[in-house]
Amino acid sequence: MNLKKSIGIVLITLFLGACTATAQKYNINIKINGLSDVEIYLAHHYGNKQYLDDTIKLNTKGEGFFKGDSLLHQGIYLVVLPSKNYFEVMIGPDQEFSIETDKDNLQKKMIIKGSKENSAFLQYQNYMMSMNEKSQGIQQKMKEKVAEPDTLTILQDELKKLDKEVKAEWNRIIAENPGTLLELIIKAMISPEMPEFEVPENIQNKDSVRWFMSYNFNQNHYFDNVNLSDERLLLTPILHNKIEHYFSKVLIQSPDTIIKYVDIVANKASGNDEVFQYVIRYFINTFQQSNIMGMDKVFVHVADTYYLSGKVDWLDKETLEKLREQVAKLRFNLVGNLAQDLKMETLTGEYARLNEIKAKYTLVMFYEPDCGHCKKVVPKIWEIYNQFNRNEFEVFAVYTQTDKAEWMKYLEEKQYDWINCWDPYNITNFRFYYNVYSTPTLYLLDKDKKIIAKRIGAETLENILNLELGRKKISEIDFSTEEE
C-alpha cells in the first residue's frame, strides 16, 4: 500500500464526513452564452488538487442548474467547460444564485445575481486582473528603459503607487465583508507589513544584519493573517500554497529549523481538526518525499511526534505499521547522527572496524560489482580516493553480496586497496542500520563518525572534501556538473 495515497484517502474521507452540512440545498443557475447541449462540471479545491462535485448538461440555450439536497462545503469552486477553460465561484452560506457569462470571455462578461459575496469576489477578480495588466506594462517599460536611470525611478514610483492602491482595495474589501470567505481569503494573501529595521551605523555587514532581521520577522510573522482554525481555507488553494511557500522558500532549509516550525504551525492548526489533519498529512508526505538531504529527519520527527505517539489516530493499523517500519529504517542513519559502528571481515580473514579509522573523513560505501550504477560511481570514487592522503580521507567499502569468488576476482581486477570488507551472514545488520535497499549507497562521516552527508554522488563527495579540507574555495566549485 502506498503510504501517501492511503493517508490522503483516509483524510479526505474524514474531512468530508466531519463537515456535515445542514438540510439546506444548493441551487446555482448557470447560463453560458455560446454553449449548448454540452456537459459542464462543478469542482472544488482541496489543497493543491481539485475534486468533482457535480455534472450537468446545458440545454440548447446554454442553461443548466447545479443543485443538491444539502449545502456544499464552503470554499472556492470551479465551473469547468468541455474546453477545460473554467471560472471560479465562491461558495458561502448562501448557495442559491445565478451566473451568466460568455464562453469566449468567461471572466469579463460574467454577471452574478443573488449572491452579494460572489459579486464582491467577481469585482475583486476583475480589479486584480486590471492591476496585474498595469503592473506588467510598467515592468516591461522598465526592461526597455534599463539604461535611463531617471525614467527607471519614475517607473519604480509608479509600481509603488500601484502597490499602495491594491493594498487599499484589499483593506476596503476586508472592512466591507466581515466574517465572509472573501475576507478570510484576502487577509490570508496579505503578507504582514515588514517594519523598517534600524541597524546601528557603526555595525559591520549591515546588509547581512538587515537580511537576518527580515528573515527573522518573516519566519515568525508569516502566518499572522492566516486563520489556521478556519476549515474553509481547505477548499481554496490558499492554505496549501502558503504552507508550501513557507517551508520551501521562507525558512532556511535546515532540518532542525524545519522541525521547530513544523511544530509551531501544527500547534496553530490544532484549533480545527480538519485543518490540523491536512497540515500533518502535508508534513508527513512532503518530507517523506523530499530530495533535500537530511529532510528525512523531519519525516521521522513528524511520524514520531504525531503518528507513532498516538497523538493522531486516523491511520488504519496496517498503514501505521508500515510507517513504523519505514521510520525504523531511517532512525539510525539520519544526517547528524553517529554512524553505527561496523566490524567486518576483510579479504584476508582479518577484521576491520569502522570506528578505528583515524581519517578526518570516511566514506562508507555499499556496492556490488555487477550493479550498473556501481560500475559508473565506484571508479569515480577511486579517482577521488587517490587525490587525498589516508589521514584526510578513507573509504570503508562493503561488498553487499555473498559470493566471495566474485568479490576476490573483482578486487584483483580493479586493484582497489581501500578498506575492503563484507558481511555474508549479515551479522552487523548493516542493511537495517544504513538502510541499504539499493547500491551504491554512500555515507560520508567526519572524524567522530558523525554522518555529515548521505546518498550523495561522486561529484558532491569531491566538492565536500575539497571544501572541508581546504583544497578549494566555494567560488571555485562547479556545482553545475553534479550528477547524483
Q: For 346-368, write each residue's pLDDT tens digit.
A: 999 999 999 999 999 999 999 99
SS (H, E, C) 110-158: CEEECCHHHHHHHHHHHHHHHHHHHHHHHHHHHHHCCCCHHHHHHHHHH
Q: Which residue has the cell 519604480?
A: 156
- Length of the chain equals 484
Give the per-residue pLDDT at 21.
42
Cα(240)–Cα(223) distance, integer angstroms: 12
Q: Is the pLDDT of residue 483 over 70?
A: no
Cα(195)–Cα(214) distance, integer angstroms: 9
Proportion of the chain above pLDDT 70, given as a percent: 93
Q: Which residue has the cell 517500519?
A: 325
* Least confident among 75-79, 470-474, 475-479: 475-479
**For 415-442, what is the mean pLDDT?**
97
Average pLDDT, the chain: 92
Q: Is 285 helix (H, G, I), strand (E, B) or coil?
A: helix
Give the pairing type, strands 361-367 and 393-399. parallel
Cα(281)–Cα(427) distance, integer angstroms: 37
Give the per-residue pLDDT at 476.
66
**For 174-189, what is the mean pLDDT?**
95
Interior/surface letters 347-369, b for 16+ CB within 10 angstroms, e for the rest: eeeeebebeebebebbbbbbbbb
Q: Is the pLDDT of residue 410 over 50?
A: yes
DSSP conformation class of 260: H
Predicted TM-score (pTM) of the model is 0.86
C-alpha distances (whole Å) from 409 to each of 109, 164, 344, 420, 442 are 77, 74, 19, 13, 23
Give the per-residue pLDDT at 470.
86
Q: For 8-23, write each residue's pLDDT tens digit.
A: 333 343 444 444 444 5
Q: For 258-283, write each residue's pLDDT tens digit.
A: 999 999 999 999 999 999 999 999 99
Q: For 284-308, write each residue's pLDDT tens digit.
A: 999 999 999 999 999 999 999 999 9
DSSP conformation class of 72: P
Before 178, cis peptide (omega within 30)?
no
Dihedral angle of Cα 359, 365, 370, 376, to the nearest 10 degrees: -80
Q: Is the pLDDT of residue 198 over 90?
A: no
Give the per-residue pLDDT at 275.
98
Q: Is 345 helix (H, G, I), strand (E, B) or coil?
A: strand
Q: Which amino acid is at 334?
A: L
Cα 477 from chain centroid (whole Å) = 27
Confidence of residue 412 (pLDDT cuts 50, 70, 90): very high
- Residue 420: which region, alpha, beta or left (left: phi > 0; alpha: psi -120 to 50)? beta
